[in-house]
Each structure stands twice: as C-alpha cells, then as structure tokens.
Amino acid sequence: MESARARPGPAFTVTFDGRALTALPGQTVAAALWAAGVTSWRSTRGGGRPRGVFCGIGVCFDCLVTVNGRANQRACLVPVRPGDVIRTQEGTGR
Amino acid sequence: MTERADLAVVGAGPAGLAAALAAAARGVRVILVDADGQAGGQFYRQPARALGARRPQALHHQWRTWERLRDGLEAHLAAGRITHLTDHHVWCVERKPGSSAREPASFAVHALRGPAQQEGVTVRAGAVLLATGGYERVLPFPGWTLPGVVTAGGAQAMLKGGLVLPGRTVVVAGTGPLLLPVATGLAAAGARVAALVESAGPKAAARRSPALAAHPDKLAEAVWYAGRLVRYRVRTLARHTVLEAHGAGRLEAVTVAALGRDGRVRPGSARRIRCDALAVGHGLLPHTDLAETLGCTLAGAAVRVDDEQRTDVPGVWAAGETTGVGGAALALAEGHIAGRSIAARLHGTAPDPRSWAAAARARDRGRAFSAALETVYAPAPGWADRITDDTVVCRCEEVTAGQVRTASGTLGADDPRTVKLLTRAGMGWCQGRMCAPAVAGLTGCPPSPGRRPFARPVPLGVLAALPDD
C-alpha cells in the first residue's frame, strides 16, 4: 500500500464467518481476507483440511469460498463488496 | 450475446496487447478478450483502480513499455478499432471450416462473463490469436498444502493487484528467475524475506555463461536484483531446497537443506526457518488448452508456431508464453510479429518479414536466452524421491504420492491418464494443472497433453443455450 502510494476509497465492512472485517474497494475477497490476516477459508471435502490462496490467478481453485450464500467462488477473482457475507466453505459447499 | 470482429485476441498481456495494437494499426477490427478486469496480464498486472495507487510503477519493471502499450490501447479503444472485453473467461474456441476460398474458416470464441461466470458470451471472428500466457509449476513437498504456502507468482499477483502480502515473514523458494522479482518485490512492500532458497547452483550458471553473457541487458537486470537483495538483507541460499513446510492449520516454519551435485540432501545441512508465508515456484508452464482443443500441434509443452507465429491450424496464431516461456520482451516481439502477419493475411496479401526484422531479432535473442536459462533453472534432480508417501500430490482430489506410486508400480499404469483413472489425480477442479508435473515425475511417465474439451468449468445452462451452428 505504501510503496504504491495507494489512496483507496473509504473502507467498508464485510463479515467472515460472522466476524466483522474491514475491506477496501478494489480488493478481491482473497486480498481482503489476507489484509485481515486470514489465510484459510475452505476445508477440503476429503480430509477436512484448511486451504486458502495458492496460485492467486484463478488456475488452481484452492481458494474456493462461499460469498453471500453462493459456494465455489474463487476468492482470488471475486471483488469484495460492502456487506458481503463470506463463509468458510466446507467440502463441496452444497 | 454475440460480438463480431476480424480478429479475436485471447489474452491482454504483453503478447496479446502487442498483437492487438499492431493489427489495429493496420486496419484490422480487433476484439480483445481477457479474464482480468484490466489489461496487462500477469507481467503488467495493475492494482485495482479503486485502490487509487498513485505510484503503481513501484511494483513494476519496464514501466515505460507498459505506458506505451496502455496509451496505444486507449487510442485504439477511443477510435473504435479495438473492443476490450474484460472479465471474460474463455472456455473454448471453435473453428468452423470454410466452404470455399471466398468463404474462409471462421471462429467462435466462447467466454463466461464476470466473476460469477454464469453468463455466456460468444465472439465471432475470421482469425484468432492465442496469447493465453502461462502458469506456475510447483512441485510438491510435505506441507505444501498448508495455508500460507502460495505460489511465487501468486504472491506477486496478489501484491500487484490487491496490494496485500501473504504474511509478515516470507521465505521465497524453488527455482527460476521469477524468484528474484518476487523476493525483492515482497521485501520492498514491507515483508521480511527470511531467505531466498534457489535449488540451482552458481556453477550451473557459470557453465552457461557464454550463452548468458550474450545478453548484457539481462545481466544488468540480474545485477540490479542482486543489489536489491543486499539492500533488503535477503539471505540467498543457492543449491538449497525446502524439504518440508510445518504448521498446525497454517504455516509456521520451513525446513531447508543444501543439495549435493547428485541432487541428494547434504547430511546435517537441514535447518528450520520460522516464517508465516512461503512463496514457492519451479518455473512456468504454457497455457495450451485452447490451442489443443483447436487441434494445434504442440512442440514439447508449448504451441508450435512458424516464423509468422502461425500455428498449424489455418487462421490461428499464437504468441507469448503459450508458445514457450521466455518473458515479457519475447512476448512483445512475438505479439508484434503475429499482429502484422494477421493484418497482411486478413487483407489477402503475403506479409513481408523484412518489415518486422527488428522484432524477429528480439525474438531470436529472447528464445536463445530462455533456452540457456532453462538448463540453469531445471528442477533439482531427486525432487520426486523426497516426496513422502503421505504427501498430497493432487490438491483438488487429495491424492497422495503413495497412491500415485501404487498406481504406477503395483497396478502398472504407464501414462498419466491411466494414473488419473486409477487414483483421480487430475480429475478435480483444476483439471490436473497443479499436479500433472508431479504425477509425471513420480511415475517416470512423460507428461501428456491435457486433452481437455473445455479450458475451465462451464455451467450446463451456458452449454445448453449455445446456438446450433
């Protein structure tokens, strides 16, 4: 943020598993979660293991997340919006 | 929804942009289709506009080149010569053969719109340029699925696009020239880079030194990065590898060790480094799925092209990393040549290669340099032997190295496809893009083309809504 001298628009609130987080306009869901120190938001359907961003460019599908009730969203691609309800995706999310 | 143009360019990175600009300048009506919200691709990935970055060049190399591309694109957009479809994810390109010389082949480029990717858009064009870039190869090791472990390019993409860091203390590891901008970029953005762990040794570079020394600009770049590493006090461990990532629920530390010449770990050299992020990569692989679906012949892992950047499927050109990984300058040269060739061919004239002699020289130099680099930065031998049986190899389907070994050993699978059928490795969301190199390495099978009918998951409703023609 500092080196690029960013002046983002006003921050807004989203929730992650019921907890309020601050996000910035322009960020993806993944970027907002990283900025809040969250690195995992999915548990695998086989072993129930935690996962988050891996490839960061939409190739690996490891960062799947449930946003506003819709499962299987790639957090690294989906822009975060004010009031988004983000939930850890369990398994297939269905 | 259907859009029409003379040329559809898939990918708005350096190659796609250079081609679109060159073609549009010669009277070709271009539709540029790209998955991102802004042009630039991975190399020139821009911070989202709403982040209001006043100095985005702090995150970039060769900013002037980007400005030239961006300004050129804006001028063509304003003049209506280029249409830029952002947030369009291409899942298939169809070729409709021509019925006569007067009615040549045409193409349908099928994309899914927006982050939701529930709505289909089709672009129809008389020619297609595939500038689909590449993605990162990451070879597995115990702990590589822990949150906090990201690809090196992924860490850079999240920094460039979202101005965020994966953690406070980062280890950058693997092999390849990409590790240098990743380590220095993360450090400049405020991360503590505890180590840069490169499995290649300095002797490998020395052996190739005549080939590398022929590129003084690239040497100067390497020296610049070396200076940055010193400035940010990044400890570089050459001919080292990450043996394991540790943590309960998220990354807490990595164990690194020195490698001998035979690729074996030097006894007693293992040490633990505390970190909360590991950015790891072992080189890049070309995206070839759209080309494969069209029937384009591959050369090794990349799309095969001629001197004009034409694939062997008439009407289909390819440029940039999809024809072989070699960096932005090479991609720009290839894109420029492709754009000029396409313009001439669409106008029904034979292109004059003398008109792009400078770009052709840049292309030859770029390819020679990347060939030399490839031998320096090959994944360290012995990596497959260090993967324990309980290490997950296929991240989507949670298939372990032990299961893959059983498939190829006890069960006799001798190609990746049979391993896939026996274990489900490569059958998940990413369709084997993450695990294919590991499966090949673990089984000793040569990697085989993906043969995926679609480049990404497609909702059934979008397929059902396609017209019949």
Q: Is pLDDT above 90 for B182?
A: yes
Indicate yes or no: CB of B163 within 8 angstroms of CB of A64: no
B459 contacts chain A (CB < 8 A): no
* Cα–Cα distance, A93 to B36 (Å, whole number): 25
B248 contacts chain A (CB < 8 A): no
Least CB-CB distance to A25: which of B50, B53, B430? B50
Q: Is pLDDT above 70 for A65?
A: yes
For A82, what's the count of Cα atoms within 13 Å in the CB-facing half-sphere? 5
Q: Is B267 exposed, middle or buried (0-12, 13-18, 19+ CB in 10 A)?
A: exposed
* Cα–Cα distance, A79 to A59 (Å, whole number): 17
Look at residues B234, B254, B232, B253 and name the one whose alpha carbon lies nearest to residue B242. Answer: B254
* Lowest-confidence region among B213-222, B262-271, B446-455: B446-455
* Cα–Cα distance, B51 to B446 (Å, whole number): 45
Which pair of tokens denotes residue A26?
């322009």
Which pair of tokens denotes residue B340?
């000029």
User: CA angle at residue B198 from B192 to B204, to 5 degrees?
Assistant: 150
The mean per-residue pLDDT over the stretch B76-80 comes to: 98
A interface test, pick of B158, B159, B399 with most A CB neighbours within 10 Å: B158
* Cα–Cα distance, A31 to B165 (Å, whole number): 8
Mind listing the pLDDT tens digit for each residue in B382-420? 899 999 999 999 999 999 999 999 999 899 898 888 999
CA distance A8 to chain B (A): 4
pLDDT at B467: 77
Displacement of CA B288 from its chain's centroid (Å): 10
pLDDT at B151: 98
Residues of B in contact with A93 (CB under 8 A): none
Q: Is pLDDT above 90 for B285?
A: yes
Q: Is B213 exposed, middle or buried (0-12, 13-18, 19+ CB in 10 A)?
A: exposed
Residue of A nearest to B160 (CA): A4
- 3-state secondary structure at position A54: coil
pLDDT at B39: 97
- 3-state secondary structure at position B22: helix
Indicate yes or no: CB of A51 within 8 angstroms of CB of B428: no
* Distance (Å) of CA B127 to CA B95, B96, B308, B316, B362: 10, 11, 14, 6, 25
Q: Is pLDDT above 80 for B183?
A: yes
Displacement of CA B198 from its chain's centroid (Å): 20
B398 contacts chain A (CB < 8 A): yes
The mean per-residue pLDDT over the stretch B235-262 comes to: 95
Least CB-CB distance to B49: which of A26, A34, A53? A26
B434 contacts chain A (CB < 8 A): yes
Cβ partners under 8 Å of residue B8, min gap 6: B30, B31, B33, B93, B107, B109, B123, B124, B125, B127, B128, B129
Indicate yes or no: CB of B51 within 8 angstroms of CB of A77: no
Indicate yes or no: CB of B162 within 8 angstroms of CB of A31: yes
Indicate yes or no: CB of B161 within 8 angstroms of CB of A28: yes
DSSP B404-427: HHHHHTTS---SHHHHHHHH-TT-
Indicate yes or no: CB of B166 within 8 angstroms of CB of A4: no
Residues of B in contact with A26 (CB under 8 A): 47-52, 162
CA distance A83 to chain B (A): 17
The mean per-residue pLDDT over the stretch B433-443 comes to: 94
pLDDT at A2: 78
Cβ partners under 8 Å of residue B298, min gap 6: B288, B291, B292, B304, B449
Asked if residue A30 lies in contact with residue B162, where contact means CB atoms within 8 angstroms, the answer is yes
Q: Which value, in Å, is the radius of gyration of the alpha carbons in chain A?
A: 13
B166 contacts chain A (CB < 8 A): yes
pLDDT at B389: 97
pLDDT at A3: 82
* Lowest-confidence region among B69-83, B211-225, B228-242: B211-225
Mind listing the pLDDT tens digit for each residue in B23-64? 999 999 999 999 999 999 999 999 999 999 999 998 888 899
Residue B57: CB atoms within 10 A of its CB come to 14
The mean per-residue pLDDT over the stretch B117-128 comes to: 94
For B190, what's the count of Cα atoms within 13 Å in the CB-facing half-sphere? 11
Mind listing the pLDDT tens digit for each residue in B314-358? 999 999 999 999 999 999 999 999 999 999 999 999 999 999 999
Q: Which residue has the tokens 């009730």?
A: A69
The mean per-residue pLDDT over the stretch B245-270 comes to: 94
Residue of A nearest to B38 (CA): A26
Which pair of tokens denotes residue A2?
């500092």
Indicate yes or no: CB of A57 within 8 angstroms of CB of B190: no
* Cα–Cα distance, B363 to A47 (Å, whole number): 47
Indicate yes or no: CB of B249 within 8 angstroms of CB of A8: no
Q: What is the largest CA-CA distance in chain A?
A: 43
Q: Is pLDDT above 80 for A15?
A: yes
pLDDT at B401: 97
User: CA angle at residue B236 from B263 to B324, to 5 degrees?
Assistant: 65
* Cα–Cα distance, B229 to B7 (Å, whole number): 43
Residue B188: CB atoms within 10 A of its CB come to 18
* Lowest-confidence region among B195-199, B253-257, B399-403, B414-418: B414-418
For chain B, give the mean pLDDT. 94
pLDDT at B469: 64
Give the percent of chain A with pLDDT over 70.
100
